[in-house]
Amino acid sequence: MQEAFLHYVWKYKILNSSSLQTAQGEALQILSCGEHNQNAGPDFFNAQLVLDGQRWAGNIEIHVKASDWYVHNHEQDQAYKNVILHVVWEYDTEVYREDNSVLPTLVLKDYVEKQTLDNYYKLNDKAGKWIFCENHFAEVSNFTLYNWLERLFTERLERKTKEIEALLTASKNNWEAVLFVLLAKNFGLKVNGEAFRSIAQHIPWQVMQKIMANNTQLEAVFFGQAGLLHDEIQEPYFLKLKKEYAYLTHKFGLQTKGVLPCNFFRLRPSNFPTIRLAQLAALYHTHTKLFAKLISVKSPQEAYPIFKNSVSAFWQDHYTFKSKSKKSPKALTKKFIDLLLVNTIIPIQYCYAKHQGKTTGEQLITFAAGISPEQNSIVAKFNELKPITSSALHSQALIQLKTRYCDEKKCLECAIGNTLLSRK
């Protein structure tokens, strides 16, 4: 038995409450279960009860065993002085207040229906399962599921907002600089994301503003800060970038201490850090006011043209500095742009609107619903349990569900878990 289940039972009154009695024989009526406290102190604040005809207001403490009160030393803690009811699963001892009176105790196992308990044990039987509820996931109604996914999508945006807020603080509220760091990170994808983030954070935005009009200088700074201009290569363009970078390093006092190395290992040529940095340079060379353009787009169709830029001439027939390849514009694919929209543009729009005191939830849900879903192992596995994803809204929500609820065993805080627990 887990205490979280007892919190769930109490919070939602999933018990036969028509004729409740305390372990001491007092008639009990629950007027209000109180406010669930997630921090230190009693589990529920400001509950309202009627005990033997007398009305009480105060706090509720919940334990698996009544003796846990003493195990946790609550008798020595003034924070528990105003507890009016002790709620337990097993009543193995009496608990006394400071004045030596007995603290009223409700024994939940006497009032929880067998079906609810059976549902709980089934939900917590993970033997060999990917998630606890996988055997019954498909039974959840689409209405419950899709409403929950919308909430999870917003939760995920809130989590991403924390990273944006930290970048805002570091940049003294420079939204252009924040966008640059986020875009750089997501251009690097999973393998080089942190390396690209560190590169961007070592290029002051004031420097970016001064070199954006010159694509060669942009590439020189990007490749130089990435540590990709150290080799002894006789390719003329490489030598040109190397010379330009040495000049710009001296001019702007660029530093590379703390920049993480880029990785080429096991990457397809189209994802080589050289190509992704060249594409990022092309984007900023083409759009010097990128934040103003991206903050106002309302749909994928408005955003796609902004990202359709060809790399510079050298990279059209190279993947590295060392050898030529078949010529191609190496423009960003729709799939890659979709990832940028989901992981960069929508979160920064959400955060920016909050700073402006505006609400954009519905608009961003519509935006995400128009983007193709991501393809990854989490999304694929959920779709095996029940066909779900039709958009990035759903795939982002499923990632949130798996990582923040399933993996952390928060079934009792999940709408799906609640539905399965309460079914008859």
DSSP 68-83: HHHHTTGGG-GGGTTE
Residue 36 and residue 178 in one domain: no
Residue 95 and residue 228 in one domain: no
pLDDT digits (tens, 9 = 90+) for 298-323: 999 999 999 999 999 999 999 999 98
Torsion over CA: 266, 271, 274, 276 (sign): negative
| Structural domain contains residue 38 | yes
Residue 322 and residue 185 in one domain: yes
Number of domains in the chain: 2
Residue 102 and residue 179 in one domain: no
Residue 323 and residue 207 in one domain: yes
Residue 224 and residue 310 in one domain: yes
Domain boundary among 297, 332, 367: 332
Low-confidence ranges of the chain (pLDDT < 50): none
Query: The tokens of 183 are what?
Result: 């875009």
Residue 79 and residue 217 in one domain: no
Query: The tokens of 254 are what?
Result: 């660029």
Residue 100 and residue 29 in one domain: yes
- The pTM score is 0.78
| Structural domain contains residue 373 | no
How far apart, in whole angstroms, are the C-alpha atoms of residue 50 and residue 362? 43
Q: How many CB atoms lie within 10 A of CB 300?
A: 20
Domain boundary among 332, 350, 376: 332
Residue 84 and residue 189 in one domain: no
| Structural domain contains residue 377 | no
pLDDT digits (tens, 9 = 90+) for 47-102: 999 999 999 999 999 999 999 999 998 988 888 988 999 999 999 999 988 888 89
| Structural domain contains residue 141 | no
| Structural domain contains residue 382 | no
> HSE on the CB side for 411, CA within 13 Å?
25
Enumerate long-range contacts of 365-369, CB under 8 Å, 24 or more apart: 365/150, 365/153, 365/154, 365/393, 366/299, 367/298, 367/299, 367/300, 367/341, 368/153, 368/342, 368/392, 368/393, 368/396, 369/393
| Structural domain contains residue 362 | no
Residue 208 and residue 301 in one domain: yes
Residue 192 and residue 95 in one domain: no
Domain boundary among 288, 305, 332: 332
Residue 220 and residue 77 in one domain: no
Q: Report pLDDT for 163.
A: 93
How far apart, in whole angstroms, are the C-alpha atoms of residue 279 and residue 289? 17
Q: Which domain holds residue 263?
A: 171-332
Nearest to 417 by CA among 8, 2, 97: 8
| Structural domain contains residue 280 | yes
| Structural domain contains residue 158 | no
Q: Report pLDDT for 156.
A: 96
